[in-house]
Amino acid sequence: MKTIISLLDSAFRAAIDAATGLHADPLITPATNERFGDYQSNAAMSLAKQIPAAQGGKINPRELAQRIVEKLDLGPMASEVSIAGPGFINVRLSPAWLAAQLASVASDPRLGVERAASPVRVVIDYSGPNVAKQMHVGHLRSTVIGDALSRIIEFFGHEVIRQNHLGDWGTQFGMLIAHLREIGLGADAHIADLETFYREAKERFDSDPAFQDKARHTVVRLQSGEPEELAAWQRIVEETRLHYQPLYERLGVLLRREHERGESFYNPLLGPAVEDLRAKGIAVESEGAVVVFVEGYDTPLIVQKSGGGYLYATTDLAAIRFRVSELGARRIIYTHDVRQSQHFAMVFAVARRAGWADGVELDFAPFGAMLGEDGRPFKTRSGDTVKLKDLLDEAEERAFVIVSEKNPELPEPQRRAIARAAGIGAVKYADLAKDRVGDYVFSWDRMLALDGNTAPYMQYACARIKSIVRKAGGDTGNPTAISLDTPHEQVLARQILRLGEVLAVVERELKPHHLCGWLYDLATRFSAFYENCPVLISDGPLRAGRLALCALTARALELGLDLLGIEHPDQM
């Protein structure tokens, strides 16, 4: 089903063309003040300056707005069109038309959200843990933002290829393999603590010259493809996977082993990429290194060090080249720290200049830092980096206390299950609900609250509607009986029908907080509807229509949470 904004856009474009002869964007947005209407066009003010002299030259914006309204044909869609202020055109949607739209989407599992007309293959690069290190809170934002974007873009029908770009190659593996051999870890034993393992290896490397030599020889053998070193390296990678894969599963993140493509994968592709850049005259030698001078930047992008080694930029360039030529990507999205903005801007510029990304959309979706309530980077009380596992454990335990206080009569396994969904959901939603480009303050009390724009509030709203349906004996009403006789019903109906346009904004801007805002508005508008419009005590068609409105709201809430990767238990 076409979104309301797209329907209004088409009608207003035709009206503007008829009134002015101009082919212009009508600038349709949801109304900033619902007292005047549901949607508005802000085009008249700018268009008034573009009227050619042949049409009388400069015109008053409000007068132009009136001309546009006179040519506007919205049929049964609108109950009122009005002009406000200097020339804002406001549209109030017809309750009967809204009710018909709800009845139409009720039979659609996608709630009327259309698939992309021309689906493409999209590669999304996110998470990227380092081998031989525990995942920590620094990995959280990339992981949950990337996962939400993957789900939403996939929902539109695009083919999404998830890429977990592991830090699984480099000189540090010489010391790690050497340390693994020295501690004599048996073939059946596992590395219990990756942080301790890495720290011990680093301490040996920094303090023991003999161990340094051994590590350097080991990495040379590894990079030469010696079987023993490759087997030891693969074991360390596998040991790391045993630590991070359960975290993905706890988070409900859709990253699997087949989505991993680490730095080691691109290692054979680095030399050919640099040679191609040199052959095209893009990369040149400078002070012994191979660099690319990028317009707009004072320092060049180094793609090969003077000693012959490669850098992150080389790997990222080789990855773009591979993802376009071999995977067939038409859009590539990276979710990483905002501090890497210049790095990706330069990498994208070089890839385009080399012709490796012709016709491909390269997007960087940066995010800010996660801060403690003191406004500083989020740390443990001792000042250490917070391990992601410890964070999730605490989230579940804090949620369990709240659930147990609220529902002490529930069996413990059920309280644990609810606490898991609420705790993990709270951590993810707190991140996703903020505009990703800014820093955000991590607050347990705020994110676990049962009111406000939080996961528990959304989950509670879903559970509340399920409870209403249970009290109705499982009756989900009749969508064709929806009448929208009250303002509270109309506001709720409009919010449900805005899902498609909100998801389109998320896909375009790569900002999941727009979906979180829509969910919060939906939940609060349902609460107002339920408090002011009796459901269970109503009779006949009124009861059937309001039950259907409840069921549609629940489905919309659940779909929105599913697209964010957040569970919604039947009981909270």
Task: Give the burial class of 475: count Cβ atoms within 10 A of its Cβ; 0-12 exposed, 13-18 middle, 19 or more buried.
Answer: middle
Q: Which two tokens stand for residue 80?
A: 């009122």
- Closest among 492, 407, 392, 408 to 447, alpha carbons compared: 392
- Encode pLDDT of 512-531 as tens digits: 999 999 999 999 999 999 99
Neighbouring-strand partners of residue 396: none
pLDDT at 54: 46
212-227 core/surface letters (b: 16 or more CB in 10 A; e: else): bebbeebbebbbeeee
Neighbouring-strand partners of residue 291: 284, 302
**Strands 284-286, 121-125: pairing kind:** unpaired
- Encode pLDDT of 534-566 as tens digits: 999 999 999 999 999 999 999 999 999 999 999
Contact 451, 457 (CB under 8 A): yes
- Encode pLDDT of 391-407 as tens digits: 999 999 999 999 999 99
Q: Which CATH class is domain 121-166+259-364?
A: alpha beta
Model confidence at 55, pLDDT cuts 50, 70, 90, reads low
Q: Which two tokens stand for residue 524?
A: 């609060």
Neighbouring-strand partners of residue 471: none
pLDDT at 24: 92
Task: Give the burial class of 49: count Cβ atoms within 10 A of its Cβ; 0-12 exposed, 13-18 middle, 19 or more buried.
Answer: exposed
pLDDT at 59: 83
Mean pLDDT across the stretch 411-415?
Answer: 96
Model confidence at 572, pLDDT cuts 50, 70, 90, reads confident
Q: What is the distance between the alpha carbons of residues 455 and 498, in angstroms, rounded to a whole number?
A: 20
With a CB cutoff of 8 Å and minimum separation 6, the contacts of 355 are: 280
CA distances from 104 to 1, 464, 481, 519 (A): 9, 25, 12, 21
Q: Is the dihedral of CA 376, 380, 381, 382 positive or negative?
A: negative
- Has residue 51 got a pLDDT over 80? no
Model confidence at 89, pLDDT cuts 50, 70, 90, reads very high
In this structure, what are the phi and psi dihedrals at residue 190, rounded to the nearest 5 degrees? -120, 155
Q: Which two tokens stand for residue 172?
A: 């540090």
- Please give the full DSSP string across 277-320, using - where no structure is assigned: HHHTT-SEEETTEEEE--TT-SSPEEEE-TTS---HHHHHHHHH
- Has residue 460 got a pLDDT over 60? yes
CATH node for 4-93? 3.30.1360.70
Task: Give the burial class of 103: count Cβ atoms within 10 A of its Cβ; 0-12 exposed, 13-18 middle, 19 or more buried.
Answer: middle
Contact 176, 201 (CB under 8 A): yes
Mean pLDDT across the stretch 276-289?
Answer: 95
- Encode pLDDT of 181-196 as tens digits: 988 876 666 788 888 8
Q: What is the distance between the alpha carbons of residues 259 and 370, in angstroms, rounded to a whole number?
A: 26
With a CB cutoff of 8 Å and minimum separation 6, the contacts of 335 are: 124, 125, 126, 141, 142, 145, 146, 149, 365, 366, 367, 510
Structural domain spans, the chain: 4-93, 121-166+259-364, 172-257
Helix, strand, coil tally for the chain in percent (to 5): 55, 10, 35
Q: Which residue has better confidence, 57 or 186?
A: 186
Q: Which two tokens stand for residue 154?
A: 């996939």
327-348 core/surface letters (b: 16 or more CB in 10 A; e: else): bebbbbbbbbeeeeeebbbbbb
What's the farthest any 2 CA atoms get from each other in the chain? 89
With a CB cutoff of 8 Å and minimum separation 6, the contacts of 56 are: none
**Strands 88-93, 159-163: pairing kind:** unpaired
- Has residue 456 got a pLDDT over 90? yes
Q: What is the pTM of this model?
A: 0.94
CB-CB neighbours of 406 under 10 Å: 13
Contact 399, 426 (CB under 8 A): yes
pLDDT at 285: 94
Q: What is the distance between the alpha carbons of residues 76 and 490, in angstroms, rounded to a whole number?
A: 16
- Has residue 267 got a pLDDT over 50? yes
How many DSSP H helices and E strands does the chain contain? 20, 13
Helix (H) or strand (E) holding 487: helix 487-497
The region that residue 565 occupies, defined by phi over 0 for left and psi between -120 and 50 for alpha, beta otherwise, is: left
- Encode pLDDT of 212-243 as tens digits: 999 999 999 998 899 999 999 999 999 999 99
- Has residue 53 got a pLDDT over 60? no
CA distances from 213 to 81, 150, 202, 219 (A): 79, 44, 13, 10
